Amino acid sequence: MSKFTIAGLVSWFSSGLLLGFQALKVFMKSSVSSSGEMVWKKLALMDVIGKSHFDWIAGMPDGIVHNILQYIVTMPLYLLLFCAGILFLIIGRLTSKL
């Protein structure tokens, strides 16, 4: 197995673990709104690292690169890890053929 394949599998495992813990938190009713319904808290890269580290994205001119970076930073972390795992597995498969 290549390093990219291992990184992809670790990324998938981390994504599943994060999704499982978030689901467990919702089912334990630790995040219940005032109306009594369960709330799924979206954990994004911006929440983990901090908004101040991504101020440079807001300073970019509006365009496709700005929109892509803004989407990646604000997408759910488990989904980002899952997509990164797919990317690593594809790269690992392509480099193993060389």
The residues near 40 (Cβ < 8 Å, ≥ 6 apart) are 22, 26, 31
Per-residue confidence (pLDDT) for residue 5, from 0 to 100 = 93
Which tokens is 11 given? 């990324």
Tens-digit pLDDT profile for residues 9-60? 999 999 999 999 888 887 776 555 566 666 677 888 888 898 888 888 888 8
Predicted TM-score (pTM) of this structure: 0.79
The residue ranges of every structural domain in the chain are 3-96
